[in-house]
A = this chain, B = another copy of it.
């Protein structure tokens, strides 16, 4: 698994790194975000504060890295969307699952923490888009392209726009607690998106 650098060298570093990220994740998932202090992370990880500050410049960065690490190791396969040939039902499946995910309190807290940091730090936002959002979006766009080829989607549609129309309403409703994220709501978003970008256009 490890290469030239040697496994022994990185062991201690890696162990403390994992301990920190794991501690950060569990704290964020458990409690109000303003209780997630660097000291609390260090204490739970069994690590000195300096070991955190040596690697990351701020709590934001640690928390971000902790969330990021969750999706690392995931290969292209694992984020690929289902492709049964029926775009509508595939999208409804995914959207319902996404809506359900938001209902998990731990995931909710994790994601709110992430969004809080991202919203107030342009650099972190860029890293977020690059490392987290883009891979997921690319997987989704792959499915949409397949639909375009199958004639189920306007071949000229701007796929980034399609994704936004599909997901942003769900995201906003969750962020602002604007209403329940029901399966029916998920379906309605898919329906609206397909009406907007479907094939039958005059």
Q: Please, which residues of chain B bring their CB within 8 A of the CB of A34? A: 120
**Is B176 touching A192 in the complex (CB atoms < 8 A)?**
no
Counting every copy of the chain, the complex holds 4
**Is B164 touching A172 in the complex (CB atoms < 8 A)?**
yes
A26 to B99, CA, bound (A): 38
A49 within 8 A of B: no
Residue in chain B with minimal CB distance to A198 = B195
A200 to B171, CA, bound (A): 28
Q: Please, which residues of chain B bring their CB within 8 A of the CB of A120? A: 32-34, 112, 116
Residue in chain B with minimal CB distance to A116 = B116
Question: DSSP majority for the A interface?
Answer: helix
Closest chain-B Cβ to A176's Cβ sits at a distance in Å of 6
State which size class the interface on A falls in: 35 or more
Asked if A188 meets B125 with Cβ closer than 8 Å, knowing A33-B120, A119-B112, A168-B169, the reply is no
Asked if A168 meets B172 with Cβ closer than 8 Å, knowing A116-B119, A192-B196, A196-B195, the reply is yes
A175 within 8 A of B: yes
Identify which of A38-46, A84-92, A126-134 touches chain B.
A126-134
Q: Which 7 A-B pairs have the closest CB atoms?
A: A164-B169, A168-B168, A196-B196, A168-B172, A192-B196, A168-B169, A195-B196
Chain A positions within 8 Å of B, measured between CB atoms, are 32-34, 112, 115-116, 118-120, 122, 125-126, 128-129, 133, 158, 160-161, 164-165, 167-169, 171-173, 175-179, 188-189, 192-193, 195-197, 200-202
